[in-house]
Structure 1
Amino acid sequence: MNVTLYKQMMKVNMKGFMNYAFGSAFYILLMFWLYPGLAKNTKAIDELVQSMPEGVGKAFGLNGFDSAEAFISGEYYGLILVLILSIVCVQLSTQLMAKLVDQGSMAYLLSTPTTRAKVAFTQASVLATGLFLIIAVTTIAGFAGNAWFLGGDFEFDTSTFIQMNAAAFLLFFAVGGISFLVSSLANDEKKALGISGLITFGFFSLDLLGKISANIDWMRSISIFSLYQPGEIVNGKDMAASSLLLFVIGFIAFGLAIVLFRKRDLPL
């Protein structure tokens, strides 16, 4: 790793990281604030959810309202956080690699006493660090929300909550790795952004459509988003195998990006 480059890129991107992190924290605190009022009408809301077509509840992660983590898993971790971190992965991976190549800044970096592999590894580390910071702030905000809004009046399983955050990080470690791979192979910023966005939101759409109808459930098998199931974590299902697979996908994608960037021809 090029430590000097890492510090500089973290400094450049820290404001963006914190904007997304505090935005995520705001939304999860909002969920905690809303839950006590909803919990008083749990039976009526559950009946309303059950009256919906099964695919709708499954698609949008409506996992019941009998516990705070069940509510948050569907209303926040199943959709809002997914959209926030998808945008982060697509935009940041493009800014860290393809944008620098497109603007000619990468040639300047490579003229210094460093190697392509070190530059790519450093940029990958910046992306992973940014994702970790956003998840860490979200997790801390969740514990604060539990203390402020739930107190001892409502049950909250901290172990399950931590598992949901770990699963979210691993999902976007994989998504970020794929986006970073695309960015490492592109010379044009807009093209990298478009391809990364198409892959990421294409995977998301396939998973969503597969949940809605059993007739097209096979679509989920080709989406890495199917490996991320916060509702199943709340229900006590062991997701260790899925989490490990997400880590492997991310590790391979980042590794390929570094290897291929080292070998490719760059425009002068």
Structure 2
Amino acid sequence: MKMTLFKQMMKVNMRGFLNYAFGSAFYILLMFWLYPGIAKNAEAIDSVVDSMPEGVGRAFGLNGFGSAEAFISGEFYGLILVLILSIVCVQLATKLMAKLVDQGSMAYLLSTPTTRGQIAFTQAAVLTTGLFLILAVTTIAGFAGNAWFLGDDYALDTTKFIQMNAAAFLLFFAVGGLSFLVSSLASDEKKALGIAGAITFGFFSMDLLGKLSVQIEWIRNVSVFSLYRPADIINGDAHMTASSITLAAIGLLSFSLAVVLFRRRDLSL
């Protein structure tokens, strides 16, 4: 990894990282602020949720409102955070690789004493660090929200809360790796953005559709999002070890392929 390039790219992208991080922090604080009011009517709301088709509850992470972590697992970790980080992965991966090739900036970087492998590895590290920063700020905001809005009145299972954040990081380490792989092979910024977006939101849509209907539940098996199950973490049903290893392997393989293939590709095309 080229530390000079890493520091420069982190400086260039830090504002974007912080914007997404504080946006995510705002939403999770909002969830904690809302929960005390929700908890007072939890039984009534749960009865409404129970009256809905089972697929709707599964699709939108309606995991009950009896505990703070159950509420935020569905309302935040099941949808809002997924959308935020999906956008981050697609946009940032495209910006870090395909955009540089498209605009000719990659040629400038290659004119310095820096190899293609070093550039690709460094950019991958920037993407991973950005994702970690966003989720770190989100986690800290969650603990702050627990202290400010819940206190001793509504207990938060901190172990499950941390597990949800760890699972989210691993999911988007994998999604980011796939987007980065696409970006590393593309010479056109718009094409890379379109393909990476189609893959990411295609996987998300397949997972959502598979939850809605038992008849097409099999479609979830081809989606990386099926390995991310915050509701199962809350219920104690998630096989965290197997899912974590699989997501980590997908991310590592994708980033590694991106580095290897970028070293071999013809940038004159």
- How high is the TM-score relative to the length of structure 1? 0.99
Q: Equivalents in 2 of 1:267, 1:133: separation in Å?
A: 35
Identity of aligned residues (%): 78
Deviation string, structure 1 residues 172-221 (Cα, Å, up to 9, x no partner): 00000000000000000000000000000000000000000001001100
In 2, the alpha carbon distance for the partners of 1:114 and 1:179 equals 23
| Offset of residue 267 of structure 1 | 2.2
Q: What's the offset of the Cα at 1:114?
A: 1.0
Q: Which residue type is aligned with residue 216 of structure 1?
A: I
1:225 equivalent in structure 2: 225
Residue 262 of structure 2 is matched in structure 1 by 261
Q: 1:59 aligns to what?
A: 59
CA–CA distance in 1 between the matches of 2:75 and 2:244? 21
Q: Tell me which amino acid in the other structure corresponds to 1:203.
A: F
Instruction: Return the alpha-carbon distance in structure 1 between the equivalents of residues 245 and 70 of structure 2.
Output: 23
Q: Give the Cα–Cα distance (whole angstroms) in 2 for the partners of residues 159 and 166 of structure 1.
A: 11
Q: Matched residues in 2 for 1:48 and 1:111: separation?
A: 63
Q: CA deviation at 1:155?
A: 1.4
Question: Match of 1:121?
Answer: 121
AA aligned to 2:219 is M
Per the alignment, residue 42 of structure 1 pairs with 42
How many Å separate the matches in 1 of 2:248 and 2:211?
23
1:57-103 Cα offsets, whole Å, 9 max, x none, are: 00000000010000000000000000000000000000000000000
Shift of 1:224: 0.4
Runs of 4+ in 1 over 6 A off after TM superposition: none
* Amino acid paired to 1:33: W
Give 2:163's aligned amino acid.
Q
What secondary structure, in the 3-state scheme, does the structure 1 residue paired with 2:204 have? helix
**2:167 is aligned with 1:178:** no
**1:83 to 2:122 alignment:** no
> Does the 8 Å CA contact 1:187/1:267 hold for their aligned counterparts?
no
> What residue in structure 1 maps to residue 8 of structure 2?
8
The CA deviation string for residues 224-254 of structure 1, in whole angstroms up to 9 with x for no partner, is: 0000000000011232101110000000000
Report the counterpart of residue 134 of structure 2 in structure 1: 134
CA–CA separation in structure 2 for the residues paired with 1:175 and 1:111: 31
Q: Which residue in 1 is equivalent to 2:107? A: 107
Rounded to whole Å, the distance in 1 between the matches of 2:86 and 2:157 is: 26
CA distance in 2, matches of 1:137, 1:244: 24
C-alpha distance in 2 between matches for 1:174 and 1:167: 11
Q: Distance in 2 between matches of 1:64 and 1:164?
A: 16
Q: Which amino acid aligns with 2:240?
A: M
- Where structure 1 has 5 or more consecutive residues not aligned to the other structure, the ranges are none
State the one-letter code of the partner of 2:161: F
What is the letter of the counterpart of residue 36 of structure 1? P
Partners of 1:181 and 1:254 within 8 A in 2: yes
Q: So what's the TM-score if we normalise by structure 2?
A: 0.99
- Secondary structure in 2 aligned to 1:156? coil
- 2: CA distance, partners of 1:211 / 1:201: 15
Superimposed CA distance per residue, residues 29-77 of structure 1 (whole angstroms, 9 cap, x where no aligned partner) = 0000000000001110000000001100000000000100000000000
Aligned positions of 1:144-223 closer than 5 A? 144-223=144-223
Could you say what secondary structure the match of 2:114 adopts? coil
Aligned partners of 2:23 and 2:106: how far apart in 1? 31
Corresponding residue number in structure 2 for 1:28: 28
- The aligned residue for residue 250 of structure 2 is 249
Higher mean displacement: 236-245 or 42-51: 236-245
Distance 2:39 2:182 in 1: 44
Alignment match, 1:239: 240
Aligned residues: 268
